[in-house]
Amino acid sequence: MAWALMNTVVSEAAHTVAAAFFLLLSAFGFGSWTKRFMLLGLAVGERVLIAGILGFGLLGTVLFIAGLLCWKAVCIIPCIGVGAVLGLKEIVYEKKAFGYAIRLIWVEKTFWFLTAIIFFLFISSLAVPVGGSGHDGIAYHLLGPKVWAIDGLIHPVLDHSHTAFPAVVETLFAGCFLMGSSSACGAIGIFFFIMLAGQVYFLGRYFGANESVAAWAAAALVAMPIVFGMADEYFVDVPFAVFALAALRCALAGEGNKTVVAAGIFSGFCMGVKYTGIFVFLTTGLVLFLPLLGKRGFWKDKIGSGVLFAASAIVVAAPWYLRNYIVLGSPIYPPPPGICDIVDVVAMPREAVQHFHEYIHERGVGLGGGIGRFLSLPYDFTYNTAMFHGAGGIGLFPLAFAPVGVWVLRKNKAALLAGFWCLTLVVLWFLTQKEARFLIPVVASLTALGAVGLGAACEYGMTGTKTACVFVVAISLGMGSWVLYGAKKEKIASVFSAESKEIRKTNNIPRREVFDYLNGTDSVVRVMILNPHVPPYYLDKPYIKIEGPHGERPVPGIISAVDAVSKAKHLNVSHLWNAGDVPSEHLIGAGWMLTYKKMQDEVWEKNVR
């Protein structure tokens, strides 16, 4: 019995790894093919890194467009396979870059620490996704991909409005579901996590840090709870940061049209991951064109470049916003303040939109507004990250060394532009929604600038400065590693132990017994969920949810649980999930029969065929 369970665990892990690396290979193949049209004069390792980032963005966008017509394995997996073949070819072509990476990891001991953290997280990512309705990964990042795989079509799942968000990354998750591995979604997050660490390393090198110091900066990033806490939990904030830093790096690379197009494409990917990508698009545009203001012939020669940048970004991001406008009534859904007063959208009454705005405002309060709070942000964000709904802190590295790096590079145009990019994004963040994870691109950029500060402090500081620097770095890495172990040990145990896996499911899947009953009962054809707080991700059967967590009303004509009961027979519903929403007497009177009860949760069955 134990041997059979072990074989099952190994088989599931192998399936997860194979699915994740199949998508990685495909992304690298597509990205490598297109990178030849936008040569940026990058170092060999950074060129491969940018190709992988570009490939993930292209793969997610192209598969989304295909999925609007058909999202079935027979159509989509061959498309991914084409990219994988290109990826195998490119691995041979870029063998020098991979050899360079292996030698760097072997020679530079700092990368041993970084590699250990990444390996630890990768094992954690292989665990089965679990969490309650408050876990965004379960509530909507994975809900959409799972439903798309069942329905054979990409579409908004209207009982949770967030499934209509731009979804470059969720489309990659959906590819994992098509290959039968939800756990591979976590591994995709780790690939982006590795790319973000690589970007910090190469950006630090670009600003002038040596290999060793840049490696310490990358290690400091991977040890930040706010970063690794998001990496394997099916969130999109780390991928968003990867695309944002790629847009910044391309904007800093030069003035050629290929650079402009590349910066535009990566800005478009940001808009295809989150609506806040619009801020990255605007800020990156400023970084591209601010240095040219005042130069002779600017308006004559550079307007075309501006149009090229904007067009590249808009073309890449357009599919998401056009879909929402055509299907839901607003390009940004739910509509933001200002737009919500002039549009009527599908499945979201005005009061639901207002409730969503209040929810966003409440989450975005942070420690308050005002110039005083803005000026104290470096301290507050370092030592009170949790007050911004943080998943942990950021360590001491950015606060200790980024100011020194900015001072050392005060005459370096690229560094000043990067600082301007960070400052602008922080201002926009401060004025809108002060959520800690939204600042990961800024934290990563400041860590790269901090690499220069660390190098300068160690080389030119007073007696004892180097010891202090080592102490600061050790505190950051040590505390981050300790938090990582505590946060991920349960997930890692569940990867290697079937018993631990079951315990984790029981502890983290709300109402698990009810889901098990519905999934394991053959007579269940379609379930109507009456309670808005039940996470339908765990239901493997077709379902209808009459109200979403923000007041969404996905079923036309149904405005209450009592109303839903009377109309269930017209919707091919075989079972009702009641959690105290409708009195039992009403259900009995309507001809429903109670078949399962667990505390306040009841399952009622009726033959409606």
Domain ranges of the chain: 2-328+364-488, 512-605
Question: For residues 338 and 353, what is the distance between their CA atoms, to the nearest angstrom?
Answer: 12
What's residue 38's pLDDT? 63
Q: Which H or E element spans position 465? A: helix 465-496
List, for residues 508-562, the tens digit of each pLDDT value: 999 999 999 999 999 999 999 999 989 999 999 999 999 999 999 999 888 888 8
Q: pLDDT band at residue 475, thresholds of 50, 70 and 90?
A: very high
What's residue 100's pLDDT? 66
Q: Sheet of 601-605: strands edge to edge?
A: 543-545, 527-529, 575-578, 601-605, 593-598
Query: Which residues touch 390 (CB under 8 Å, ≥6 apart)?
Result: 225, 226, 436, 437
Q: What is the mean pLDDT of residues 215-225?
A: 93
Task: Give percent of the chain with pLDDT exceeding 90.
Answer: 62
What's residue 294's pLDDT? 56
List, for residues 330-340, the tens digit of each pLDDT value: 999 999 887 88
The pairing of strands 543-545 and 527-529 is parallel
Flag whether pLDDT at 1 surpasses 50.
no
Query: Where are the strands (E) in 489-567, listed by range?
Result: 527-529, 543-545
Question: For residues 427 and 283, what is the distance between their CA atoms, to the nearest angstrom?
Answer: 11
Task: Give percent of the chain with pLDDT exceeding 70.
Answer: 92
- CA-nearest of 298, 187, 212, 204 to 245 is 204
Judge whether 598 and 514 are in contact, CB under 8 Å: yes
Judge whether 483 and 385 are in contact, CB under 8 Å: no
What are phi and psi for residue 336, nearest 5 degrees? Answer: -75, 170
The structure's pTM equals 0.94
Half-sphere exposure of 41 (CA within 13 A, CB side): 9
User: How far does Cα 59 stand from its chain's mean position?
Assistant: 15
